[in-house]
Amino acid sequence: MSTAGETVGFIGLGYMGHGMAKNIVEKGYPLTIMGHRNREPIEDLKTRGAREVATAREIAENASVIFLCVTGSPQVEAVIRGPDGLKAGLKPGSIVVDCSTSDPNSTLALAAELGAIGVDYADAPLGRTPKEAWEGTLDTMVGASEAVFARLKPVLETWAGRIVHIGNVGDGHRMKLLNNFLSLGYGALYAEAMTLAQKVGISPQRFDSVIRGGRMDCGFYQTFMRYTLEGDRDAHKFTISNAFKDLTYLESMADAAGLVNLVGNAVKNSFGVAMAAGGAGDYVPMLPDHVAKLNGTSLKSGS
């Protein structure tokens, strides 16, 4: 099957998936999408030329390349193996691409299972935010064979500005967990450092005046700080519950590798405490609010 003749299916039209699917259909690929309760992205994509179906099986029957962008491994497994799932409709020669942040152990098991029926599997988790998804400039780290990667690359280029073929199946998800460990670890450090600063009389604004533009500044820092400094609740629309989930996957990967995961577990616990305090649906840049409250203070202006 030639790349030029690919038909694309997409399941998981949330914050990231909506923008990705928009770019796929606008750049010329026939796109089939699966409906869900949030109708806004579905109706938007239909106006752009996408076709809606009701089940994952119908996606598989109508697409040669199928992207999944859901919460994590349990959801990926349900979409593939469940009643009217992808596996019921997949044709030999198709490719399933998991763009979720998933458990690499599950990824390898699914790749073997689908390989037995002639279907290729790839992991292409994402970097950056819904803004870049909409603009078609996401980062992705891809785990796939050379042949599968070569076939996928033109489709990936519709929504990604930076594509790294990191290795074989599973390596994309391994690298994504490492990437998220770094970013979420920074988030936990920023939250605790700002809280300590506030406790000793240094406001977030004064804290920022030293860090911003210095050697410890970075793109993640700037995005993360927009909530504390500007009140921008949508600076990085990635929930604390998703962060905690990713850090449990990191812990599982570390356990399997025989690594004593000291810092990873500390970072996981920072987000776990915020979840226990009712913050599961808050976004990652809101973590400082929870750490500050735990320590009897607030980072809000005038506190």
Q: Is 87 a catalytic residue?
A: no
* 48 shares a domain with 31: yes
Instruction: Give the model confidence (pLDDT) of 77-100 as tens digits.
Output: 999 999 999 999 999 999 999 999
Domain boundary among 138, 168, 198: 168
* 139 shares a domain with 18: yes
* 109 shares a domain with 21: yes
The catalytic residue among 87, 176, 245, 268 is 176
Distance between CA 102 and CA 249 in Å, rounded?
A: 7
Q: Which residues, including other chains, have CB under 8 Å from residue 182's CB and lie 6 or more apart? A: none
For residue 36, what pLDDT is reported? Answer: 81
The number of beta carbons lying within 10 Å of the beta carbon of residue 24 is 27
Instruction: Give the model confidence (pLDDT) of 168-202 as tens digits.
Output: 999 999 999 999 999 999 999 999 999 999 999 99
Q: Which residues, including other chains, have CB under 8 Å from residue 82's CB and lie 6 or more apart? A: 56
H/E stretch holding 138 reads strand 138-143
Residue 303 lies in a domain: no
Count of helices and strands (H, E) across the chain = 13, 9
Distance between CA 82 and CA 207 in Å, rounded?
A: 50
* 219 shares a domain with 273: yes
Distance between CA 102 and CA 72 in Å, rounded?
A: 5
Residue 299 lies in a domain: no
Residues of the chain with pLDDT under 70: 1-4, 301-303
Residue numbers of the domain that contains 275: 174-294
3-class DSSP state of 93: coil
CATH number at residue 118: 3.40.50.720
For residue 2, what pLDDT is reported? Answer: 34
Distance between CA 303 and CA 287 in Å, rounded?
A: 17
Total tally of structural domains belonging to the chain:
2
Residue 301 lies in a domain: no
* 162 shares a domain with 179: no
* 19 shares a domain with 147: yes
Domain boundary among 168, 187, 222: 168
For residue 37, what pLDDT is reported? Answer: 83
Model confidence, pTM: 0.91
CATH number at residue 211: 1.10.1040.10
Alpha carbons within 13 A on the beta-carbon side of 126: 29
